[in-house]
Structure 1
Amino acid sequence: MDENTGGLTGLFDPERVAVVGATASEGSIGRAITANLQADFAGETVPVNPNYDEVLGAACYPDVASIPGEVQMAVVVVPPSIAVEAVRQCGEAGIRNVVVITAGFGETGSEGASRERELTEIAEEYDLNLVGPNSLGVLSTPTGLNATFGPENALEGSISFMSQSGAFITAVLDWANDEGLGFKDVVSLGNKAVLDESDFVEAWGDDPETDVILAYLEGIEDGGAFIESAREATAETPVVMVKSGRTDAGAQAVSSHTGTLAGSEEAYEAGLEQAGVLRVENVQELFDFAQILSGQPLPESEQVAIVTNAGGPGVMTTDAVGDSSLSLASFTDETLEALSESMPEEANIYNPIDAIGDADIERFEEALDIALADENVGCAVVLSAPTAVIDYGDLAEVIVELQAEHGKPVAATLMGGERTESAKEVLGTGGVPNYFDPARAVRSLEALATYREIQEREYEAPQQFDVDEERAREVLESAEARGENRLGVEAMDLLDAYGIPTPEGAIAETPEDAVSVSQDIEGEVVMKIVSPDILHKSDIGGVKVGVPNEDVYDAYEDLVTRARNYQPDATILGVQVQEMVDLDSGTETILGVNRDPQFGPLLLFGLGGIFVEILEDTTTRVAPVSEREATEMVDGIRAAPLLRGARGREPADRAAVTEAIQRLSQLVTDFPAILELDVNPLVAGPDGVQAVDVRLTVDTDKL
């Protein structure tokens, strides 16, 4: 196994690369890839094409089996009708790494999808590292490998970058070369028939030459695998991602509050956060963050010092800090005294430090040196507008020297056009990024602070509770036996089997049974119609609250009559007779799950009751969750102060809420057949929680 690329041995550092479909024809992809390889690749490029004896001066072979000696990688450029067989021949020849440039697979329809399945089967048979199909290719700067048909090679650097869009890669490389931004490895993922984002995150996370992992993705194939690989990688290497295509992948009709509130986009937000990925909104932020993460140390605190010669931009920077999770540093008395002695009277010595417009290099240097020496300062923004007394090249040298001396991260905002070019080169030698907009500098420093928090996380395994899994399975199978895929209050035993507290009660199939059940419950009872066809029971008058024992018989008959009048063909399983839960004694919350096509079960917690979809005060996490993650869900809603006892309320048992989340997490992890589930309300009181109502949707084929 290559120590630099994990299980992808030979994909980024091959000694010999075969180009299957190499050609000398002008304007062809086969020629472009062959020429790109020959231009910079330290190894040998081997053309393969039965129609040529020679391509661009190199001996050409009719097929890969004819190539003498070992070949570590093949790039397949032949038409889709023969590409599958070409990949098989690569496997038979012992070529383990294959990049399929050819399009015409899963992206084109059923015939192409069939070909793509064949590729996957061949890759599995021969244990191939296969990139693509429909890929721009791969490149790696340490060996000069450029197995792409793009017009630009990359500058050498420590950023590894993957993209689902080949066109995006070509645009990025063109821009990055102008900016002097370098890369280590670049991969066009294509259709991801075999290798996907999780494989490359894992490989680059183990690569000591990769300082930052960047990704442009339109989707993630296996959310659980990605979370696992990214968590491992981010312990040492930051992962920054742009995720486009904010649609509900695999959209399906939803029947629960959770299904309405927690869709695919929420799953990505939760999953990427749990994975430790820094998600950005646009391409600018992607590379802003990449530059600072690859060049600057992590801050020891979130407190920022601002040093400037321009009052207006200084205020803009202060506003940007206020909009972030960072804060303005409060200088120590020693710092203020030193600044007072070194700055003119008109200068502002408080943060932000305004050295005023006539500040020369020496004044800037003194101010920045004093600020970075302050123990309260974790990082700094150096901001300058052009003046006749400041040479940006000289200022850049000062910034680089002081940053290295103090070891604290610095972002520069040397505003201007052409005069900043030489300064950017100097700053680049010290890994200090320069941003025209001070808000970008602040957001980038915030990314450093966020990544520090990610590194400090301790991931704990989800707790495994002692549950009655067989009893839960019987409840779910009861739906299958009735030919139904939805369950309501008849599924309360499901929660009970997993240790989520429920009120005392049972389902009565006759008025006499209802009376019998109520006699075992102290006080008045709640009665609810039980029908998989009537999910919103309150809307039809299918719930009666505070029913005394002597009225239970009549209440039963009235509920059934109402249900029949509302929906004559509805399946009526009976009436749930349940002890009264004083809703005023606690806070009504909702606990639910919606199964996402990529990430699996997505847990939701928030303020519940009848206004849940109006207030939308919820948090989400991908199951299974640890105790820490469940606690974050509870503390993350806006209404969290209610649970902590705001305005004289008695505090809820938040530990019981956290445990209920973990128990539901275990339930939906154990039973993939559960597609949607709502516990609403889950009443959180001082003495624990109680699940008052439940409804769920089941995929009976998965039971």
Structure 2
Amino acid sequence: MMWTHQPSGSRQQTLTGKNRKQECIMDTVKSLSPFFEPNGIAIVGARSTPGFGFGLPKNLRDHGWADKTYLVNPNGGTIHGYPVFKTLKEIPAPVDLAVVLVPAPAVPKVLGEIGEHGIKNTIIMSAGFAEAGEEGKTRQARARKIALSYDMQVIGPNCVGVVNTANAFCTTEVMPEAYTPGKLAVIAQSGVFGQNILERVNEYGIYVSKAVTLGNRLVTNEIHILDYLHKDPDTDTIAMYLEGSADGEQLRHTIVKVTPDKPVIVLKSGRTSEGRAATESHTGSLSGEDNLYDGMFAQTGAIRAETLDDFTTYCRAFATQPLPKGNRLGIITGSGSMGALATDCAIKNGLTVPPLSKRLMAVMKEGAPDWMNTKNPLDVGPSGLFPRAFNAMMEDPDFDMILAVIAVPYSAVRFRLTEFTIEDFFFGGTLPLKERKWEKPFMIAVVCHEDLVSNFRERAEPGTPVFNTPEQPVRALAALWRYQNWKNNHK
């Protein structure tokens, strides 16, 4: 396999599996823990006026990091009650993480001072490097040379740093709920994307363990972070947004080490020549031919999302659902058309929709109206047999995963929502869906008025994901199967 190699600067060269010339990058992750669990933090470029250097000290203080945070600005003074040191040398305690917020032209000089002070981990938030033209590329190359000369690990530039919910350490402003600990880790080349995906998954009750925004990847890149998260006990699933790879062959080796233990979900931009040009102007990335990435993700067991919606959907699925034993999908619905749409999507995505067993057909025919079919998809219409169908399918060993498609006219039920719960009406029993545990993957599509969708989400999520089209959950169930099938074939 041939790869487009893209060191963390701006050069591009061709690599093959055996003959490749690499720049000096870390063979293994020595220690990335100061990025997430620092003993002392120097904010270089703290400021008394609104901007990154203004809000970050207050954010750290509000989340319990005041006694480990030190502000640096040549003007001295105080900011948010912190004393401001004019130089790193004045800081009276050990520091193992520097956060740099000075203008881009000053970054190389500041990086040298950080190296001289013995700080080995740095986050550069400043923009104006390889993404900003030839002058920026030259500046980035100079900064990289300085960082490597001090054996420094650097996240950024052109990023917003990290989030660690286990200890509430965060170098960017996020919504309060984003501090809730979870088991999903996020790697994003784009800072804004990283914040956006946190907000998107948090909306569905899914929370993260750690998030890292890489920016231009001066030194530390997605390969190092993947390796770190592979060993992280707080992380069960890794979701990654890429614009290009720092080293395609090394990324392949790393993913194939991670995926036997943890699923890796990938959204990669730059599928077209125009998209690749956009990534270069965003984070200075050289994206590479997309078919190579498609092949690599398939070979390594990574789950590639086609769209941002699919990326979010897969995060929800892997964060909440068990892996299926097989690819046999059972569909229960009140609408034959929705069942047909779900079936088409299932077959297209590698699932099967097998017929009902004779036993299950007998269960469903008992007391059923003559017009009701006993096929898969199982269209119960307005028969009132949705709970029986659901429980029979969920218990049937011939189905590995279940999709319930709710499609009722809202006008027919909106005045009755106070008379029954969705559990009793559709699934049987009174225990809220969010409190029930399933032995096989189960998702719901509510193709109705938004009020009913919201009602289902309130009762079911996060444990049972709810969607507003049948195709979204089908693609998510198929992604769970693709990962399980890859694991089955790579034991």
TM-score by length of 1: 0.58
Aligned residue number for residue 375 of structure 1: 397
How do 1:195-234 and structure 2 match up within 5 A? 195-234=220-259
Q: How does 1:452-463 map onto structure 2 within 5 Å?
A: 452-458=484-490
One-letter amino acid of the structure 1 residue matched with residue 456 of structure 2: A
SS of equivalent to 2:310: helix
> Deviations for 1:574-604, whole angstroms, at most 9, x for unmatched residues?
xxxxxxxxxxxxxxxxxxxxxxxxxxxxxxx
Partner in structure 2 of residue 90 of structure 1: 114
1:255-294 equivalences under 5 Å are 264-294=289-319
Question: Where does 1:168-183 land on structure 2 (aligned, <5 Å)?
Answer: 168-183=193-208
Structure 1 unaligned residues grouped into runs of 5+: 252-262, 460-703
Distance 1:401 1:116, change over 3 A: closer
What is the aligned-residue RMSD (CA, Å)? 2.7
1:502-521 matched pairs, under 5 angstroms: none
How far does residue 171 in structure 1 lie from its aligned partner after superposition?
3.4
Partner of 1:520: none
| Preserved contact between residue 411 and residue 432 of structure 1 (Cα < 8 Å) | yes
2:442 is aligned, of 407, 410, 433, to 410
The one-letter code matched in structure 2 to 1:419 is L
Q: Does 1:391 align with 2:424?
A: no
Q: What secondary structure does 2:85 align onto?
A: coil
Displacement of 1:285: 0.3
- The match for 1:22 is 46
Q: Indicate if the aligned counterparts of 2:185 and 2:211 stay in contact, CA closer than 8 A.
A: yes
Q: Which has the higher contact order (CA 8 A, sep 6+)?
A: 2
Indicate which of 323, 326, 335 corresponds to 2:360. Answer: 335
Q: 1:450 — aligned with what?
A: 482
> Do the aligned partners of residues 320 and 108 (structure 1) sit closer, same or farther apart at CA in structure 2, a change above 3 Å counting?
closer
Among 140, 155, 160, the residue aligned to 2:185: 160
Query: What CA deviation, in whole Å up to 9, does each residue of 1:194-218 have, x standing for no partner?
Result: 1111112221122232222112211
- Mapped pair 1:310 → 2:310: no
Aligned residue number for residue 457 of structure 2: 424
> Would the alpha carbon gap of residues 318 and 402 (structure 1) be closer, same or farther in structure 2, given more than 3 Å must change?
farther
Which secondary structure does the structure 2 equivalent of 1:10 belong to? helix
1:130 CA drift (Å)? 0.7
What is the CA–CA distance in structure 2 between the aligned matches of 1:383 and 1:221, rounded to whole Å? 42
How many residues of Structure 1 are paired with residues of Structure 2 in the alignment? 437
Query: Contact between 2:201 and 2:312, CA under 8 Å: does it hold in 1?
Result: no
Deviations 1:553-594 (A, max 9, x none): xxxxxxxxxxxxxxxxxxxxxxxxxxxxxxxxxxxxxxxxxx
8 Å contact kept, 1:227–1:271:
yes
Deviations 1:409-462 (A, max 9, x none): 011112331233243133224x22111110111110000000102222338xxx
CA distance in 2, matches of 1:312, 1:333: 24
* Displacement after TM superposition at 1:304 (Å): 0.4
The 1-side partners of 2:64 and 2:187 are apart by 20
Instruction: Tell me, in whole angstroms, the C-alpha distance in 2 between the residues paired with 1:170 and 1:136.
Output: 9
CA gap of 1:182–1:163, structure 2 versus 1, over 3 A, is same
Supply the AA of the counterpart residue of 1:376.
D
Structure-1 separation of matches of 2:57 and 2:368? 61
- Give the deviation of 1:103 after TM superposition: 1.4
3-state SS in 1 of match to 2:147: helix
Residue 290 of structure 1 and its aligned partner are, at CA, apart by 0.8
Look up the SS of the partner of 2:343 in the other structure.
helix
Structure 2 unaligned blocks of 5 or more: 1-28, 277-287
1:352-373: CA deviations, max 9, x gaps? 12222252xxx43322121122
Distance in 2 between residues matched to 1:155 and 1:425, nearest whole Å: 21
Going from structure 1 to structure 2, the CA distance change for 1:343 and 1:31 (only over 3 Å counts) comes to farther
Q: Which amino acid aligns with 1:454?
A: W
Give the structure 1 partner of residue 136 of structure 2: 112
1:323-362, aligned counterparts within 5 Å? 323-341=348-366, 343-359=368-384
> Compared with structure 1, are the counterparts of its residues 311 and 403 closer, same or farther at alpha carbon in structure 2 (3 Å cutoff)?
farther
Q: Distance in 2 between matches of 1:329 and 1:411?
A: 18
Contact 1:307–1:383 (8 Å) recurs in 2:
yes
- Give the alignment of 1:520-559 within 5 angstroms: none
* Contact kept in structure 1, 2:313 and 2:472, CA below 8 Å: yes
Secondary structure at 1:246's aligned position in 2?
A: coil
**Structure 1 residue 97, shift from structure 2 partner:** 1.9
* Distance in 1 of aligned mates of 2:332 and 2:236: 28
Question: Contact 1:78–1:102 at 8 Å: present in 2 too?
Answer: yes
Larger Rg: 1
Deviation at 1:401, TM superposition (A): 7.6
Tell me the amino acid that sits aligned with residue 280 of structure 1. Answer: A
Contact 1:99–1:130 (Cα < 8 Å) also in 2? yes
Shift of 1:179: 3.8
Residue identity in the other structure for 2:271? R
CA contact (8 A) 2:433 2:464 kept: yes
After superposition, where does 1:25-40 map in structure 2 within 5 Å?
25=49, 27-40=50-63
Contact 1:303 1:377 in 2 (8 A): yes
The answer to whether the 8 Å contact 2:129/2:157 transfers is: yes
Give the fraction of aligned pairs with identical amino acids, expressed as a percent: 28
Distance 1:42 1:311, change over 3 A: farther
Q: Contact 1:29/1:149 (CA < 8 Å) preserved in 2?
A: no
The change in CA–CA distance for 1:94 and 1:348 in structure 2 (over 3 A counts) is farther
Q: Secondary structure at the match of 2:209?
A: strand
Report the residue type matching 2:389 in the other structure.
A
1:348 partner SS:
coil
Mapping of 1:19-98 within 5 angstroms?
19-25=43-49, 27-42=50-65, 44-98=68-122
- Work out the CA distance in 2 between the residues paired with 1:222 and 1:229: 10
Question: 1:310-336 CA distances to partner (integer Å, 9 max, x unpaired)?
Answer: 333222222222322101133322222
Give the letter for the 1:242 counterpart.
L
SS of residue in 2 equivalent to 1:302: coil
SS of aligned partner of 2:466: coil
**CA distance in 2: counterparts of 1:448 and 1:291, whole angstroms:** 11
The letter for the 2-side match of 1:448 is L
Higher strand fraction (1 or 2): 1
Distance in 1 separating the partners of 2:176 and 2:139: 31
2:211 to 175, 179, 186: 186
Q: Compute the displacement of 1:306 (Å).
A: 0.7
Tell me: CA distance 1:343–1:37, structure 2 relative to 1, closer, same or farther (3 Å). Answer: farther
In structure 2, distance between residues paired with 1:14 and 1:422:
42
TM-score by length of 2: 0.81
Contact 1:146 1:153 (C-alpha < 8 Å) held by counterparts: no
Contact 1:136 1:150 in 2 (8 A): no
